[in-house]
C-alpha cells in the first residue's frame, strides 16, 4: 500500500469477547479503508458484501469517482476538462502512462496507434464463420479473444515491452474490429483504415464509408465521437473492469482478458443502458404520453422506471452528462434530423428536469440518456451501442490490467462465500432412494 497506516479499527466478537485491531488505510481522495486481510486468521470470520457495495478490491491510481459530489477524475484531471480540451488518444496516453504527453510523446503515441490499426487479413476468414445476423457483441467477443492466436508475439505478460505492444494493438485495432462486425452484419464490404485520419474520423469512415462514393468527414460528428470515447474510457472498478482484473489475476493473456470484459459489458445493466433508453422512449411512444409515464415512474408499486435517469454511483449530476448534453444538442442541430423519438427524448428531459420529484432525488439525466440519442441521430443501430462502449472502454481495461500486472502485491482473485447449502450427509445408493 502507498500509505503507512496510522489509524486502526478494533473489531470485537461479542460472542467470545475476543478483539482484533485492523489498520485503516487512507487514499489520496475518498473514504479510508479498513484492511481486513487478517480478519479470518484473527477472528475466524469472512465479510459478506454482495455486489461489493463497501469492499475495495484493489489499489489504483487511475480513476477516482465521488458519486455524492458528482466528480470523475482520470489521473487527477476532471473528465469535463479532458473531454473539452483533449482528444481521445491523449486521454489514452494519460490512462496508460499516468501523465499527459508532451508534444513529442503525443506525436509518437499517435503514430504508434495509427500504424497498428490494420488487422491480420486472416481475421476476415474468422469473421465469416459467424452468421450474418449474429449480434455484433458476440462477434466482438470472438474476434478479440482470437487476437491471441494472431498476435501471440505480445502475450508474455511478464515482459514490459510486450505489455506495451499488446496495449497499443488493442487500442488501435478495436475500432477496426468493431467496424468489421458492423459491415458484416449489414452485408457491406470491409473498409480498411486510413492513416491520414484521426482516430475518431477513421472509425466513422470504416463504419459508414462505401466503395461507390467518397466519404466526407463531418467535423461535428467526429468531435462528438471523440467525446463519446473519452467519456466512456474508464469508470473505476465497474463490473467489466473488475472482470478484466479478475481474469488477468490468473495470468491470462491480455486479449483473453479484454474479451472477458466485453462479455461482461454486454449485460443490459452495464453497457446496454443507452439501448434501454431508446427502448423506453419507444414504449412511451408520444409526447402526450409523458405525464402518464412520469407518474408511473414515481409509483413505487409500478415496475416502470425512467431509464437514463440517476446512476448507481452518482448521487448527484453525472459529470459526464453535462458534456454529453452539449454534444447531443450540437449533433442534433448539425444533422437537423426530424425524428419523433429524438423530439420525445428532449421533451422528457425537459419535464424531468423541472419535476420536483426528480430534482429532489437528484435523478438527473445521465451519460447513457444522451449517448443513446446521439448514436441514433448519427445512424447507429442499437445493436452497435454496446460495441462502441467496448471500443471506448478498451483503454481503461488495458490500463487497469497493466496496473494490476505491475503491482507486486497482486494475487489471483478468489472471493469467499457464505455457504447456505446442505451440511455433510451420507450418500444413499440409488436403489434405496424413495
The catalytic residue positions are: 311, 368
CA atoms within 13 A on the CB side of 208: 18
Q: Is residue 183 helix, strand or coil?
A: helix
Identify whether the C-beta of residue 32 lies closer than 8 Å to the C-beta of residue 380.
Answer: no
d(CA 431, CA 419): 30
Identify whether the C-beta of residue 150 lies closer than 8 Å to the C-beta of residue 129.
Answer: no
> What pairs with residue 63 in β-bridges?
74
Q: Determine the Cα angle at 341 with ends 338 and 342, to 5°.
A: 65
The CA–CA distances, whole Å, from 91 to 24, 318, 323, 390 equal 32, 19, 16, 16
Selection from 241, 239, 245 nearest residue 414 by Cα = 245
d(CA 12, CA 35): 15
Which grid cell is 223? Answer: 468531435
> What pairs with residue 72 in β-bridges?
65
d(CA 318, CA 367): 7
Selection from 122, 110, 253 nearest residue 171 by Cα = 110
Amino acid at each position: 500500500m502507498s500509505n503507512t497506516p496510522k489509524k486502526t479499527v478494533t473489531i470485537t466478537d461479542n460472542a467470545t469477547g475476543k478483539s482484533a485491531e485492523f489498520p485503516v488505510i487512507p487514499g489520496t481522495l475518498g473514504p479510508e479503508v479498513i484492511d481486513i486481510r487478517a480478519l479470518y486468521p484473527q477472528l475466524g470470520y469472512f465479510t459478506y458484501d454482495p455486489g461489493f457495495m463497501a469492499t475495495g478490491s484493489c489499489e489504483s491510481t487511475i480513476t477516482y469517482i465521488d458519486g455524492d459530489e458528482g466528480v470523475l477524475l482520470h489521473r487527477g484531471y476532471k473528465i469535463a476538462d479532458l473531454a473539452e480540451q483533449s482528444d481521445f488518444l491523449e486521454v489514452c496516453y494519460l490512462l496508460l502512462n499516468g501523465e499527459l504527453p508532451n508534444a513529442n510523446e503525443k506525436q509518437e503515441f499517435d503514430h504508434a496507434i495509427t500504424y497498428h490499426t490494420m488487422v491480420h487479413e486472416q481475421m476476415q476468414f474468422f469473421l465469416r464463420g459467424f452468421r450474418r445476423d449474429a449480434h455484433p457483441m458476440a462477434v466482438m467477443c470472438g474476434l478479440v479473444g482470437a487476437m491471441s492466436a494472431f498476435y501471440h508475439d505480445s502475450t508474455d505478460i511478464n515482459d514490459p515491452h510486450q505489455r506495451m505492444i499488446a496495449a497499443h494493438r488493442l487500442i488501435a485495432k478495436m475500432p477496426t474490429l468493431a467496424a468489421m462486425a458492423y459491415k458484416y452484419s449489414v452485408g457491406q464490404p470491409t473498409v480498411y483504415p486510413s492513416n491520414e485520419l484521426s482516430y475518431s474520423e477513421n472509425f466513422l469512415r470504416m463504419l459508414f464509408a462505401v466503395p461507390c462514393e467518397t466519404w466526407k468527414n463531418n467535423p461535428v460528428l467526429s468531435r462528438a465521437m471523440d467525446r463519446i470515447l473519452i467519456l466512456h474510457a474508464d469508470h473505476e472498478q465497474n463490473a467489466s473492469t473488475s472482470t478484466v482484473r479478475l481474469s488477468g489475476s490468473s495470468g491470462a493473456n491480455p486479449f483473453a482478458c479484454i474479451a472477458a470484459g466485453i462479455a461482461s459489458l454486454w449485460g443490459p445493466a452495464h453497457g446496454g443502458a443507452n439501448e434501454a433508453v431508446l427502448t423506453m422512449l419507444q414504449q412511451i411512444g408520444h409526447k402526450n404520453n409523458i405525464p402518464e409515464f412520469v407518474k408511473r415512474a414515481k409509483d413505487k408499486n409500478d415496475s416502470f422506471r425512467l431509464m437514463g435517469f440517476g446512476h448507481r454511483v452518482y448521487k448527484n449530476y453525472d459529470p459526464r452528462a453535462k458534456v454529453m448534453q452539449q454534444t447531443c444538442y450540437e449533433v442534433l442541430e448539425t444533422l437537423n434530423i426530424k425524428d419523433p423519438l429524438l423530439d420525445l427524448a428532449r421533451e422528457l428531459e425537459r419535464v424531468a428536469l423541472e419535476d420536483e420529484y426528480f430534482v429532489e432525488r437528484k435523478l438527473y439525466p445521465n451519460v447513457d440518456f444522451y449517448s443513446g440519442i446521439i448514436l441514433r441521430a448519427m445512424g447507429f443501430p442499437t445493436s452497435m451501442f454496446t460495441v462502441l462502449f467496448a471500443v471506448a472502454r478498451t483503454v481503461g481495461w488495458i490500463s487497469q490490467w497493466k496496473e494490476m500486472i505491475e503491482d507486486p502485491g497482486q494475487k489471483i482473485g478468489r472471493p469467499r462465500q457464505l455457504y447456505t447449502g446442505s451440511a455433510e450427509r451420507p450418500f444413499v445408493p440409488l436403489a434405496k432412494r424413495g
